[in-house]
Structure 1
Amino acid sequence: MTTRTENVTPNWFAAIMGTGIVSNAAATLPVHAPGLRAFAVVVWVCAATALAILCCAFAAHWTSHRTNALGHARDPIMVQFYGAPPMALLTVAAGAMLVGPDVVGTTVSGVLFVVLWTLGTAAGLTTAVVVPYLMMTAHDHRQVVALPAWLMPVVPPMVSASTGALLLPHIAEGQWRLTLLALCYAMFGLSLIVGMLTMASIYSRLVHGGVPPVQAAPTVWIALGLVGQSITAANLLPSAAPAGISGGLRMFGIVYGLVMGGFGVFVFALAAAITVHAFRRGLTFSLTWWSFTFPVGTCVTGATALGTALGSTLIHGLAVVLYVALVGAWGTVAVRTVRRSGPRPHALPTTAAINVASSSVA
């Protein structure tokens, strides 16, 4: 008999990521529209509640349906989405620091941030190493092709770096703050370098092998997550750096943000074109649609951070426009998810359904 937790897969956590980033982006926007703060609080509460429920369901899945869970972990497609749980933890953690005090008070929100950030960072660093290791040693290399989903286990350390910037100001100046700053930049470098190598492989595969299967097309937006999150980190981290190096790090963040932003425009345009192409070929709803949310949300936070560092009204305006698009995408995907998962949660489409199609494209 099928139970509600039998088919709980790690890509479900993408819904938490996509919801949490809506709150975080709203809390950091350079505008103060009426009701925006309240909206951010409500969305964060929804994300935090959903995270708690999903973590319990995922634990029950591993406890009661270990065979299924191990099968997902061994699947070369599904294993990539083990990067989603750490990012869900980190996204909700950031919300705890940004809007959590309005709900649970400063002390509780601070503790919640530290706990979730620590767990998310540890899980993300583990995933960033273990998943590539499994790809190298345990998967069938005869059918391996580079897919956008390969970025999922790579991005978590970058999310830790950008959200770690929220913790730095609360640590007294000295060696402890400097150590955390160094750790954040180290995670920035890890994620950026491995991520760019991965994107090069994905780009080469797309150019030489064609676009992904129709149902996998939304995953091309994942590349935008690394772009936006890295710009966010590069421009937030210098604010808590020691006086002697803060100026240089701030300049690095601005230059990096402008250069990577140009690349981001290319990635955004290409992803949009591939998505339109997929809709024309019959793209239907699945959990991959959550790829339309979190990556765009990171571009909002990146544009906000870069615009603030540079003092650019134009870039701040871009952040607002992107946020409007983000809310539209999130609303559409959230409603469709609820409609599809309500009566039969176990029937909600998962990325595993595209495994055969993905493997057949060389």
Structure 2
Amino acid sequence: MNVPASAPGGFRRVVRHFAPSWFAAVMGTGVVSITSFHYGETYPLLRSVGTWLHGLNLVLFVLLFVPWTLRWLMERQAAVAALRHPIMGQFYATFGIALLVLAGECLLYGHPLALSATLWGLGVIFSVLFSFAAFWLQFHGQQMELEHVTPGMFIPPVGLVVVPLAGQALLPQVPAGWRELILVANVASLGAGSFLWLGLMALTVHRFVLAKRLPGMLLPTIWINLGPIGVVSLDLIALAQGLPLPGARETLPVLALMLWGFGLWWFAMALLITLAYWRRGELPFSLAWWAFTFPLGAYAAASHRLGSLFGLESVWAIGFAAYLVLLVLWTAAFLGSLRGVVSGKLFLDPPAPSPSAAP
């Protein structure tokens, strides 16, 4: 029996209106767990925080996987319509990224290698699949206006550049016959994601300068640019250890440090713009608040790695400051989501489709 979309409750309504951006919560929780683990080298209590968040994230993924999958089976028309939406469609890539983040967590916390490898392999498949789906729709006739362009377009490339993080960590642990395949997948994904991100970054800056400013519900997406900045920095350091090329160990970390400097500029700009929206009362809660978390966590993790690698205490300290901000933003996103689920507000009928609709 079909439940009307306007019904006050019911699991069918949750499935029908289950936003594709929900897996950003797994991304955000996972990166807080991983970053807590690394900063736990200095502050041991944070290791306990990271372990607790890892357990929470495994449960969270399972809880979200059920309605996400059922939406494709029971409400396929709604799922496909969201995929074709010029803004919401970008957020389907969060599913693949969530799998990759969980793979990295499982490696870090000592789960069986088979589990980490399976999660990583599935994450690669879905990250590639949704990156092609997003850009196929944009390249193959979907009409987009300048105001459709948001930093949410970075999400499919982010999925590609996240591939090498757990992928490089897997290399020493898998049978020799798999190592070249994984290394090539890592390098190919990094190349594809990095250059797509650079092209889209130029497009989004063009939009920021020449079009209306982002609506408040989408403002958190401006932080997404920190995601590829942080992740690519970590990728370059990881590849420097794994590529059998002369000079890689010296040159790639320097490039990562330069990229980190751009991230510091973007971090400051995103913070200033966010505070300006907050003061004007133009920052209502939405699932887009999870866009605050993973990008900032990736930047904090890159700061920790670069600060430790080069012995730069200021870089490490900036990363720890970013981590503290991350804890505040993660808490706000988590509690806001919990309130939205309990009240049912996150599963209400969406407004009439428009390019500015929040994901």
Structures share a fold, TM > 0.5? yes
For residue 213 of structure 1, what is the aligned residue in structure 2? 215
1:90-145 alpha-carbon deviations (Å, 9 max, x no partner):
1111111112x2xxxx43xx221111110011111122222111112142235764
* Corresponding residue number in structure 2 for 1:291: 291
Q: State the match for 1:347 in structure 2.
A: 347
Give the structure 1 partner of residue 354 of structure 2: 356
**1:171 CA displacement:** 3.4
SS of the equivalent of 2:41 reads coil
Cα distance change on mapping 1:64 and 1:145 into 2, 3 Å: closer
Map residues 221-300 of structure 1 onto 2, 5 A cutoff: 221-242=223-244, 245=245, 248-282=247-281, 283-300=283-300
Q: Which moved more, 1:27-36 or 1:222-231?
A: 27-36
Give 1:275 shift: 1.2
Aligned length: 346
Q: Is the 8 A contact 1:213 1:357 kept in 2?
A: no
Change (3 A) 1:180 1:354: farther
Residues 1:195 and 2:163 aligned together = no
Partner of 2:324: 324
1:322 to 1:124, Cα distance in 2 relative to 1, 3 A: same
Deviation at 1:232, TM superposition (A): 1.0
TM-score normalized by structure 2?
A: 0.90
C-alpha RMSD of the superposition: 2.2
Q: Give the letter for the 1:194 counterpart.
A: L
User: SS of 1:33's equivalent?
Assistant: coil
- Give the 5 Å matches for 1:5-44: 5-29=15-39, 31-44=41-54
Separation (CA, whole Å) in 1 of partners of 2:305 and 2:252: 9
Q: Which whole-Å CA distance do the structure 2 matches of 1:270 and 1:281 have between them?
A: 17
1:7-56 C-alpha deviation (Å, 9 max, x unpaired): 11210111111111101111223733232222111101111111112111
Aligned ranges for residues 158-177 of structure 1 at < 5 Å? 158-171=161-174, 176-177=178-179
Q: Which residue matches 1:69?
A: 79
CA distance in 2, matches of 1:155, 1:8: 22
Q: What's the offset of the Cα at 1:254? A: 1.8
1:255 CA displacement:
1.5
SS at match of 2:240: helix
CA distance in 1, matches of 2:274, 2:156: 23
CA distance in 2, matches of 1:327, 1:337: 15
How high is the sequence identity, in percent, across the aligned residues? 28
1:73-222 equivalences under 5 Å are 73-99=83-109, 101=110, 106-107=111-112, 110-141=113-144, 145-171=148-174, 176-222=178-224
CA–CA distance in structure 2, aligned partners of residues 266 and 209 of structure 1: 22
**Which 5+ residue runs of structure 2 have no aligned equivalent?**
6-11
User: Offset at 1:210?
Assistant: 3.6
Q: Measured at CA, do residues 292 and 144 of structure 1 come closer, stay the same or move farther in structure 2, by a change above 3 Å? A: closer
- The whole-number CA distance in structure 2 between the counterparts of 1:355 and 1:218 is 20
Unaligned runs of 5+ in 1: none
Choose from 45, 57, 61 the match for 1:47.
57
- Secondary structure of the 1:284 match is coil
Q: Is the 8 A contact 1:235 1:309 kept in 2?
A: no
